[in-house]
């Protein structure tokens, strides 16, 4: 045996102790890695789960397939408003009868805004995102679009929604309405990216984590109107750590949900599209991402009988 060979296998220390340097010794010193969790089985036709900090995709199911997104489109409507330079959230907006008529014509969810009331932009955002009010979304579009007629202003606002999608590089996302009642479409991946953008705004984050909003507004008759809006997102208050975001339901889209949760300083953002059990799907995804097992024991927060469902 040569000296060189002996050096590769072991080194004799003073006092006669032999220190092995073999590959087998190095492998034995490496800590055992935990076994990865099995991926959850979902009812949703499309889904995505993203780590908000790293941007890594943790789960994907047909995540790049374009699907209808229903009222989750209101995330973009709110983002357009909140991204407006110098937006005045306390600006008062008179409620037009046309906003109520729109709800009636389309059978949409409503914040039950009363004609002639003066509600603030901030209140309209709550009314859009909590009870998923199409009347409130119409009011925002009519206020933040440009043009001399309501039709021109809402068309302008819709253009802003699609322009914002382009700025965010959401190439597969298309909006045809301000409230999700059209053929609005996106992918689970891009919808999660939109949610991540929206959640960077403090006002948006505050609104979507609110279970119930109570507020007042000057009424047309000079008195005070009192509004109560309940968040349609039943995952909020049901799964520990959930901080939003938005439901959506139409016949073409099925039941949809965009959600986010924070545990131990880590935030996950996810989407489920066209699901027969969207809240269970979301809880399974969050369990998968956080490495927990609380979905099986989750009890959904009940909505008041008068609350909107979306």
Active site residues: 71, 74, 132
- Cβ-contact 280, 31 below 8 angstroms: no
Residues 239 and 284: their CA atoms lie apart, in Å, by: 10
Q: Are 121 and 78 in contact (CB under 8 A)?
A: no
Parallel/antiparallel/unpaired status of strands 57-61 and 212-218: unpaired
Q: How far apart are CA 143 and CA 32, in angstroms?
A: 59
Distance CA 119, CA 216 (A): 8
- For 205-234, the DSSP string reads HHHHT-SEEEEEEE-TTSSEEEEEEE-S-T
Contact 79, 194 (CB under 8 A): yes
CA–CA gap between residue 285 and residue 73 (Å, rounded): 22
SS3 of 140-178: HHHHHCCCCCHHHHHHHHHHHHHHHHHHCCCCCCECCCC
**Conformation bin of residue 192: beta by default, left when phi > 0, alpha when psi is -120 to 50:** alpha
In angstroms, the CA 268 to CA 52 distance is 5
Q: What tokens appear for 14 in the block? A: 């003073």
Q: Residue 62 and residue 143: Cα distance in Å, rounded? A: 37
Query: Could you say which DSSP state residue 198 is in?
Result: H
* 217 touches 225 (CB < 8 A): yes
> Cβ of 275: how many Cβ atoms within 10 Å?
21
């Amino acid at each position: 045996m040569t000296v060189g060979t002996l050096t590769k296998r072991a080194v004799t220390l003073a006092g006669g102790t032999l220190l092995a340097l073999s590959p087998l010794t190095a492998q034995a010193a490496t800590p055992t890695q935990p076994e990865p969790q099995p991926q959850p089985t979902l009812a949703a036709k499309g889904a995505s789960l993203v780590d908000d900090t790293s941007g890594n995709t943790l789960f994907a199911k047909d995540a790049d397939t374009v699907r209808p997104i229903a009222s989750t489109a209101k995330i973009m409507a709110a983002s357009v408003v909140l991204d407006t330079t110098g937006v005045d959230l306390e600006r008062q907006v008179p409620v037009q009868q046309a906003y109520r008529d729109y709800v009636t014509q389309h059978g949409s969810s409503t914040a039950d805004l009363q004609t002639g009331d003066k509600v603030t932009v901030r209140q309209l955002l709550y009314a859009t995102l909590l009870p998923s009010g199409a009347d409130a979304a119409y009011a925002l579009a009519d206020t933040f679009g440009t043009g001399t007629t309501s039709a021109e202003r809402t068309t302008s606002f819709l253009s802003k929604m699609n322009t914002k999608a382009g700025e965010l590089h959401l190439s597969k996302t298309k909006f045809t309405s301000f409230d999700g009642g059209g053929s609005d479409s996106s992918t689970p991946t891009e919808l999660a990216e939109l949610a991540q953008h929206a959640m960077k705004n403090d006002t948006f984050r505050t609104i979507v984590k609110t279970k119930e909003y109570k507020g007042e507004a000057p009424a047309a008759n000079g008195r005070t109107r009192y509004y109560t809006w309940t968040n349609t997102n039943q995952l909020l208050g049901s799964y520990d750590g959930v901080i939003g975001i938005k439901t959506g339901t139409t016949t073409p889209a099925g039941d949809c949900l965009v959600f986010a949760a924070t545990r131990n300083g880590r935030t996950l953002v996810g989407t489920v599209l066209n699901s027969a059990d969207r809240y269970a799907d979301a809880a399974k995804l969050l369990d998968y991402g956080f490495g927990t097992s609380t979905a099986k024991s989750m009890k959904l927060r009940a909505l008041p009988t008068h609350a909107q469902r979306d």
